[in-house]
Amino acid sequence: MTAISDPQSVAALAAEAVDNRVNLDFETEGMTLNMGPQHPATHGTLRIIARLDGEQVISAEPMCGYMHRGYEKLTEVRTYPQINALINRIDWLGSFANEVPFILAAEKLMGVEAPPRAQWIRTILFEMSRIANISLFLGDFGLQLGGMTAGFYAFRDREWVLNQIESATGGRFHPNFDRIGGLKDDLPKGWIESSHTAMDKLLAFCDELEDLLVGNEIFQARTRGIGVIPAEIALSYGLSGANLRASGVDWDLRRDNCPPGLVYDKADWKVWTHPDGDCFARTWVRLQETREAAKIVKQLLDTIPSGPVMAKVPRIIKVPEGEAYVATENPLGEMGYYVVSKGDLVPFRVKIRSASFNNISIVPWVARGAYVPDLISILGSLYFILGDIDR
C-alpha cells in the first residue's frame, strides 16, 4: 500500500473506520445495506449504501460513477455534429430531447434559426420522446412496487410511439436527427395520420393506467405520504421537471422560458402541479404530463406548416466565439448545455446540466428516516436514468 500517504486514501480509510462505528450514539445494532450496483429496483447501476436502524434508514448515500463516460471531456475533441450523436446517450429513453438544447445553444451562438416546419417537427418529436420516456416510468414504477401488470401495458403501448420515432428518424432509441439549422430529413409519407393513431392509443393507455395503477389501493398505500419533499428544499437542490411540480411549484420551461426554436406557444395545453410532494404526486404529475404531451403532438400535427426543414448553414459548422446556456424541459426535468465556443470546429467547454444529477442528489435528504420498502418508492418516483446522472 504505497498510496497510504495520499490524503484521499487516508480519508477513505477514515470513512471506513467511521462505518464500523455507525450507530454508537443510538446504542442499537446498526446494519449497512448495500443496494446495487445491480439491483432490480435501481434500474441501472446506481449503488446505494444505506445505514439502517431496524427497518428505518438512518442515511442513504448514492454511489455514482459506474457509468461515467466523461462526455464533458469528449465534447472538447469532437465537432458539433459529432457531439450530437454522443449526447443522444445521456438520457437514453428520451434521446431526441437531449439533442435539442445543445442544437439550440449552437444555433443561438451562430445566429441561425430553423425554418418553421423544422421547429414544428422538432417540438413534435420532443414530445414523443417525453411520452416514450414517461410511459416506461409509469409501467416500471408499478413493477417496482409489485404491480407486474402495469409494466406489460407500458411496454406494449410505448411501441406505438417508438415506431413513430423510428419511421421519422430511423432510430428507435438514438435518433441523431436534429441538426444545427433544422432537421436531417422531412417526415415520411403518411406519418401524420399514423401519429394521430399512436397518440390516440397513448391517451387510452393513460386512462387505462390511471385505473390500473394510480387508482389502485395498494399503490396508493405505498406512495401516499411517502418521501415528501417541500418546495423550498426541492428548489435548493435544483429538482426540476415533474419532481418539482409535484411539490407544488408551477414552473415549466416549455411554458415559462421556452427557447426560440420550439413552438409550445402554438398549442393549447396545461402545466399540472400537485401540492403533496410525495411519491404519489410525482407519479400523478407524470401521468398528466404524458396526456398533455399527446395533446400537444395532436394539435401540432394539424397545424404543421409546409416549407423546408433546413436553414442555409455552411457545410462545415464553425460556431462563433461566445458563451450560451440553453435549457429545455426534458422528460426528466431541466436539461441544459453551457457552451463556450472559441470560434472553432469544436467547443472549448461544454457543461452538461442533466436533470437526474440534481434530482437524485436529494436522496440522502429524503431517505433519512424512511423505511426500507419506502426507499424503493422514493427512488422509483424520483425517476432517474443512469446515463443522465453519470453522463
Partner 1 sequence: MSQLSSADTETLEEAAPAIDEAREAVLAEITARLGEGVVGSHIRPGDDLWIRVDRANWVAAAEAAKAMGYRFFDFLSAIDWLPSPFGRDMDSQEDRVVSGTPAKEPEAMVQGYAGGETRFQLLARVYSISAGMGITFKCDLPDDDLTAGTWSNVYAGANWHEREAREMFGFSFDGHPNMINLYLPADFVGHPLRKDFPLLARRVRPWPGIVDVEPMPGVADEEGEGE
Side chain identity at residue 214, one-letter code: V
Chain center to CA of 52: 29
* Buried-exposed string 81-98: b where 16+ CB fall within 10 A, e elsewhere: eebbebbbbbbebbbbbb
Binding residues (CB under 8 A) for partner 1: these are 3, 6, 8-9, 11-12, 15, 64-65, 68, 70, 72-74, 76-79, 81-82, 108, 110-116, 232-233, 235-240, 249, 251, 256-257, 260, 311-316, 318, 322-325, 327, 334, 336, 338, 340, 342, 344-346, 349, 351, 353, 357-358, 361-362, 365, 390
Q: How far is the CB of 350 from partner 1 (least distance, A)?
A: 10
Nearest-angstrom CA–CA distance, 163 and 233 = 39
Nearer to partner 1, 208 or 256 (CB): 256
Q: Is 260 in a helix, a strand, or coil? A: coil
Nearer to partner 1, 41 or 310 (CB): 310
Q: How far is the CB of 92 from partner 1 (least distance, A)?
A: 18
Nearest-angstrom CA–CA distance, 7 and 17 = 15
**For 346, how many CA atoms within 13 A lie in the half-sphere containing its CB?**
10
Q: How far is the CB of 282 from partner 1 (least distance, A)?
A: 18
Q: At 149, phi and psi to the nearest 5?
A: -60, -40
Please choose, from the candidates 62, 91, 141, the residue with its C-alpha nearest in 3D space to the C-alpha of residue 329: 91
Q: How far is the CB of 181 from partner 1 (least distance, A)?
A: 8
* Buried-exposed string 199-223: b where 16+ CB fall within 10 A, e elsewhere: beebeebbeebbebbbebeebeebb
Nearer to partner 1, 156 or 368 (CB): 368
Q: How far is the CB of 7 from partner 1 (least distance, A)?
A: 10
Please choose, from the candidates 239, 202, 18, 26, the residue with its C-alpha nearest in 3D space to the C-alpha of residue 128: 202
End-to-end CA distance of the chain: 32
Q: How far is the CB of 3 from partner 1 (least distance, A)?
A: 6
Nearer to partner 1, 278 or 334 (CB): 334
Q: How far is the CB of 323 from partner 1 (least distance, A)?
A: 5
Nearer to partner 1, 85 or 218 (CB): 85
Nearer to partner 1, 77 or 218 (CB): 77
Is the separation of the CB atoms in 237 and 358 below 8 Å?
A: yes
Return the number of other C-beta atoms located less than 10 Å from residue 301's C-beta.
18
Is cis: bond before 314, omega within 30 of 0? no
Nearer to partner 1, 64 or 203 (CB): 64
Q: How far is the CB of 312 from partner 1 (least distance, A)?
A: 6
Side chain identity at residue 299, one-letter code: Q
Torsion of CA 298, 303, 308, 314, to 10 degrees: -70
Q: How far is the CB of 242 from partner 1 (least distance, A)?
A: 15
Nearer to partner 1, 73 or 156 (CB): 73
Q: How far is the CB of 49 from partner 1 (least distance, A)?
A: 12
Nearer to partner 1, 189 or 315 (CB): 315
Nearer to partner 1, 55 or 256 (CB): 256
Is the separation of the CB atoms in 179 and 103 below 8 Å?
A: yes
**Residue 375, C-alpha cell as written in the block:** 426507499
